Amino acid sequence: MARALVRDLERLPEVSSVTLLNDFAILGKRLSRPLTSGYKFHLGKVQWSYDLAYRVFTGLRPAKRFGELALYALGASSLSEAIAPHRPDVVISTHPVLNPVLAGLRSAGRLRCPVAAVVGPLGGHDFWALPGLDLHLLLYEAAIPSVERLSRPGAARAVRPLISREFFEPLGQPQARASLGLREGRAVVVVSGGGWGVGDIDGAISACLALPGTDVIAIAGRNEALRHTLQSRHGYDHRVSVLGYTTRMRDLLSAADVFVTTTAGSSIQEARACGAPTVCYGFLIGHVRDNVNALCKHGFARAASNPAELTRAVGAALSEGRLPAADYGRLPTAAELAVALARSGAEIGA
């Protein structure tokens, strides 16, 4: 999201420079090391521990407030020092860990310029939305009531998703399939574990193959171990293609009849832009669970918690067919609203 935002900002004539601080190191050693290793450990190896921590820090108000204060106490000085040399007119956060620190700096008067926060998920906003932030840039319009409840009225605006600009240019399914060399007369399911390649991708492949006439394209992201495992198990099967990290998601999602995701991240909006119905599978823990519940509630996705449910969900999506491409063009960009916020030096109401 951060890189997409930088690209949009750099296209605006009124923006002279953009600095991307894209590392937990800006929060100092006391936070950067635990955060970097903690994500991989809790989300990759001991998922129940992340889910427990999430339930505690979002379900108990004192625990949530303690977490916010702890992040501020440990990271405020380092983040302030990282920002100061750039003398920004506006600071934009794309990660919820930064938000309590930025909100604290803003409230304490240690950060004079306005702060905007990009809010990625449709549900699970406890660490994304805070009263001390000037503006929340929402990637789902339906999230406005939830975010304003946690922040304040008028502090949330819906924006165009922070995905590659190519997704806003229509690509027909026949053209996409031809460019990928896919077989004719077959249903195509794209399965993705996100950039990290997490979740039960192997189980998702088997569940989709249980549907007659179906081919699967599995994306392992940067998880090389997963890619090798999937290739060894399914490489003999002409119905399965295994990819690592790819820059052709627009082609893949435009070609797909169904998209299965284990992370429920920005790829859902990419799928909506391409007209591919989405099923969220497994990995329903912590903020992912809350986001998936909200996505299902608003009709943006189906959910499946085990292979049998996934087979049924994908089958139902295949029977209903592809969707109209989402109309994102009517929404302002996050870059445009951030520049307007910088000009005003204050809050922008809805």
| Residue-wise pLDDT tens digits, 141-182 | 999 999 999 999 999 999 999 999 899 988 999 999 999 999
Percent of the chain at pLDDT > 90 equals 72
Question: How many other CB atoms sit within 10 Å of the CB of residue 236?
Answer: 8
Domain with CATH 3.40.50.2000 in the chain: 167-320
How many residues are listed for the chain in this entry? 350
pLDDT at 203: 95
Q: 62 pLDDT exceeds 90?
A: no
* Cβ(113)–Cβ(343) below 8 Å: no
Percent of the chain at pLDDT > 70 equals 93
37-63 mean pLDDT:
69
Mean pLDDT across the chain, nearest whole number? Answer: 90
34 confidence band (pLDDT: 50, 70, 90): confident
pLDDT at 347: 44
* Cβ(296)–Cβ(302) below 8 Å: yes
pLDDT per residue as tens digits for the range 189-204: 999 998 888 889 999 9
Question: How many other CB atoms sit within 10 Å of the CB of residue 9?
Answer: 21
pLDDT per residue as tens digits for the range 241-292: 999 999 999 999 999 999 999 988 899 999 999 999 999 998 777 778 899 9
**DSSP string for 91-123:** EEE-STTHHHHHHHHHHTTS--S-EEEEE--SS
346 confidence band (pLDDT: 50, 70, 90): low
pLDDT per residue as tens digits for the range 199-218: 899 999 999 999 999 999 99
So what CATH class is 2-160+331-344? Answer: alpha beta
Q: 25 pLDDT exceeds 90?
A: no
349 confidence band (pLDDT: 50, 70, 90): very low
- The CA–CA distances, whole Å, from 287 to 58, 76, 118, 128 equal 10, 24, 16, 11
pLDDT at 44: 58
Q: Cα separation of 283 and 289, whole Å?
A: 8
pLDDT per residue as tens digits for the range 292-303: 999 999 999 999
89-107 mean pLDDT:
94
So what CATH class is 167-320? Answer: alpha beta
37-41 mean pLDDT:
62
- The CA–CA distances, whole Å, from 19 to 15, 16, 85, 91, 92 equal 11, 10, 11, 10, 10
pLDDT at 243: 95
348 confidence band (pLDDT: 50, 70, 90): very low
* Cβ(212)–Cβ(314) below 8 Å: no
